[in-house]
């Protein structure tokens, strides 16, 4: 351990309780971005943070207005020759309903069993304060952080970061940095420092098979005309082969195969498949042959039915040939698949396999690109080392099966390596009642940030 960090780490230990109190105070503000009624709270939350940051010797702070809810910006420019780290977080939170399911009120954060319970404690106010406290530790013991630090804390993450792209564009100069760190994800499990290095993208479709202008009598017409429900069922069934691969021509053309090292890293994770299945009442893990469950959900593309609708769904029987059949389909995409390209391939294929008497209409509803971190960049080794020093355990690379649109936005806008260094737990109830923050993680998270800033200053 490097000597010079000792006073800083000691400061983090000494301030442990106060750092929790500060977080509690901020989390009392119900900054719910999805509700008009909380617009004033959103502003109060932003002002509260800006105020705290300006007391920590930031060289500049600002509340930045967007069309909806304000973001907060602060910077500590210590030396233009030193590297600059941009920290991203968000200060808006999810709604707290249903209130009756909370064991303590969502906006009166309470400590129980080594955890802080309340809305926003981990998603994402606690993770923002991990960085704020790390900066404080440097400022109070050394006068300033060892690198240039910039923070952008938006207020619209929970409603899809609707103005983030514009914000990053209109403040591009100010937000220049060498590295970006995003602390808004979860660790693989307790005590396992994890860097998320991959996210799946998405392409979403609305599919309609048209056959008749009206529902027809199944006795008078059945067997003599096309049934769009039968047709759609056959079409959907044909979209996967026996080995679980998707049959759309060209679908896998851009899929990056995993390297032996990536497969070994994933295989090394303590994944409890039974627990994962049990979390949704599942009975068996199934999917594309030749891949483990984690490989399937993190690194392989999918094509899934999200909804199906046709014909009579009411009580009892009704003997009809439905006029049309509909499905909602979506693909989870992996590097380097492109949603618009996949949309074109899927549409072309569905139209091509429509049986006689049926016309297929495909509407592409929305898409998002997958993300793969440039892990060969030296900053990933630095981050691994920093994270491991704080937690005393090996840092693992994980991925996420879902999409986090703002990560792509930031990665694309800044063009810099984006470290997803999250301090949440997989079961912390983010977005659900009884959200909690592991206070040991909060404490070690602050130390991780201290180590990260220090390591980056010597990079």
Q: How far is the CB of 62 from Zn ion (least distance, A)?
A: 22
From 36-44, 74-82, 103-111, 124-132, span contacting Zn ion (CB under 5 A): 124-132
From 33-41, 121-129, 253-261, 298-306, span contacting Zn ion (CB under 5 A): 121-129
Q: How far is the CB of 184 from Zn ion (least distance, A)?
A: 4
* Closest to Zn ion by CB, 122 or 135: 122
Q: Are 128 and 153 in contact (CB under 8 A)?
A: yes
CA atoms of 51 and 55, how far apart (whole Å):
6
Angle (CA) 398-149-87 rounded to 5° is 35
**Cα-based distances in Å from 189 to 141, 270, 422, 423:** 32, 9, 11, 10
Q: How far is the CB of 124 from Zn ion (least distance, A)?
A: 4
Q: What DSSP designation does 254 have?
A: T
CA atoms of 254 and 341, how far apart (whole Å):
10
Q: How far is the CB of 84 from Zn ion (least distance, A)?
A: 23
CA atoms of 170 and 44, how far apart (whole Å):
24
Q: How far is the CB of 157 from Zn ion (least distance, A)?
A: 5
Residues 291-320 that bind Zn ion (CB under 5 A): none
Q: How far is the CB of 404 from Zn ion (least distance, A)?
A: 9
Q: Are 35 and 58 in contact (CB under 8 A)?
A: no
For residue 64, give both structure tokens: 């930045």
For residue 382, give both structure tokens: 């630095």
* Closest to Zn ion by CB, 8 or 430: 430
From 116-124, 209-217, 347-355, 379-387, span contacting Zn ion (CB under 5 A): 116-124
Q: How far is the CB of 322 from Zn ion (least distance, A)?
A: 42
* Closest to Zn ion by CB, 75 or 184: 184
* Nearest CA-CA partner of 395 in 421, 428, 373, 425: 421
* Closest to Zn ion by CB, 182 or 216: 182
* Closest to Zn ion by CB, 123 or 136: 123
* Closest to Zn ion by CB, 311 or 426: 426
Strand, coil or helix: 85: strand
Residues 166-205 that bind Zn ion (CB under 5 A): 184
* Closest to Zn ion by CB, 123 or 347: 123
* Closest to Zn ion by CB, 175 or 186: 186
CA distance from start to end of the chain: 16
Helices 16-27, 439-457: inter-axial angle, 10-degree rounding: 110
Out of 41, 75, 92, 123, the residue judged to bind Zn ion by CB under 5 A: 123
Site residue total, Zn ion (CB under 5 A): 3
- Phi/psi for 6 (5° steps) reads -55, -50
From 58-66, 123-131, 339-347, 385-393, span contacting Zn ion (CB under 5 A): 123-131
Q: How far is the CB of 191 from Zn ion (least distance, A)?
A: 22
* Closest to Zn ion by CB, 75 or 124: 124
For residue 207, give both structure tokens: 């599919």
CA atoms of 267 and 256, how far apart (whole Å):
18
* Closest to Zn ion by CB, 45 or 337: 45
Q: How far is the CB of 348 from Zn ion (least distance, A)?
A: 37
CA 416, 382, 444, 401 torsion: positive or negative? positive
Q: How far is the CB of 143 from Zn ion (least distance, A)?
A: 32
**Cα-based distances in Å from 173 to 54, 167, 248, 401, 409:** 21, 11, 43, 33, 16
Out of 41, 75, 124, 435, the residue judged to bind Zn ion by CB under 5 A: 124
* Nearest CA-CA partner of 420 in 385, 370, 371, 369: 371
CA atoms of 89 and 406, how far apart (whole Å):
10
Q: How far is the CB of 270 from Zn ion (least distance, A)?
A: 25
Supply the DSSP string of 64-76, one letter for each residue: EP-SSS-EEEEEE
> If binding is defined by CB under 5 A, does position 455 make contact with Zn ion?
no
* Closest to Zn ion by CB, 156 or 347: 156
CA atoms of 441 and 99, how far apart (whole Å):
26
Binding positions for Zn ion, rule: CB under 5 A: 123-124, 184
């Amino acid at each position: 351990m490097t000597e010079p960090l000792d006073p800083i780490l000691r400061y983090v230990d000494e301030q442990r309780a106060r750092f929790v109190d500060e977080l509690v105070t901020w989390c009392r503000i119900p900054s719910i971005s999805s509700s008009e009624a909380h617009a004033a709270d959103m502003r109060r939350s932003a002002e509260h943070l800006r105020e705290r940051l300006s007391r920590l010797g930031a060289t500049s702070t600002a509340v930045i207005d967007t069309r909806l809810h304000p973001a907060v910006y602060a910077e500590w420019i210590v030396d233009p020759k030193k590297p600059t780290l941009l920290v991203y977080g968000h200060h808006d939170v999810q709604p707290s309903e249903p209130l009756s399911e909370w064991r303590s009120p969502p906006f009166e954060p309470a400590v129980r069993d080594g955890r802080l319970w309340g809305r926003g404690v981990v998603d994402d106010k606690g993770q923002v304060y991990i960085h704020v406290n790390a900066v404080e530790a440097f400022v109070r013991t050394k006068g300033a952080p060892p690198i240039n630090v910039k923070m952008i804390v938006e207020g619209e993450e929970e409603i899809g970061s609707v103005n983030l792209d514009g914000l990053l564009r209109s403040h591009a100069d100010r937000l220049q940095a060498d590295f970006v760190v995003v602390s808004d994800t979860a660790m693989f499990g307790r005590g396992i420092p994890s860097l998320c290095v991959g996210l799946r993208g998405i392409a979403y479709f609305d599919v309609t098979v048209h056959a008749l202008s009206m529902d027809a009598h199944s006795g008078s017409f059945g067997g003599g005309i096309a049934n769009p429900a039968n047709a759609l069922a056959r079409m959907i069934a044909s979209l996967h082969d026996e080995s679980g691969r998707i049959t759309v021509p060209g679908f896998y053309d851009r899929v990056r195969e995993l390297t032996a090292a990536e497969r070994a890293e994933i295989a090394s994770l303590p994944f409890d498949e039974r627990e994962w299945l049990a979390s949704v009442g599942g009975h068996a893990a199934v999917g594309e042959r030749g891949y483990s469950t984690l490989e399937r959900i993190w690194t392989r593309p999918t094509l899934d039915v999200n909804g199906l609708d046709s014909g009579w769904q009411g009580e009892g029987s009704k003997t009809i040939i439905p006029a049309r059949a509909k499905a909602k389909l979506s693909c989870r995409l992996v590097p380097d698949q492109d949603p618009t390209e996949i949309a074109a391939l899927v549409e072309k294929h569905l139209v091509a396999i429509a049986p006689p008497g049926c016309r297929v209409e495909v509407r592409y509803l929305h898409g998002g690109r997958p993300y793969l971190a440039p892990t060969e960049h030296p900053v990933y080794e630095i981050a691994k080392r920093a994270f491991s020093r704080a937690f005393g355990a090996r840092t693992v690379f994980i991925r996420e099966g879902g999409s986090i649109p703002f990560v792509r936005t930031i990665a694309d806008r800044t063009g810099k390596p984006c470290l997803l260094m999250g301090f949440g737990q997989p079961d912390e109830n983010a977005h659900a009642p009884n959200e909690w923050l592991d206070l040991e993680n909060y404490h070690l998270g602050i130390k991780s940030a201290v180590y990260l800033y220090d390591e980056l200053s010597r990079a």
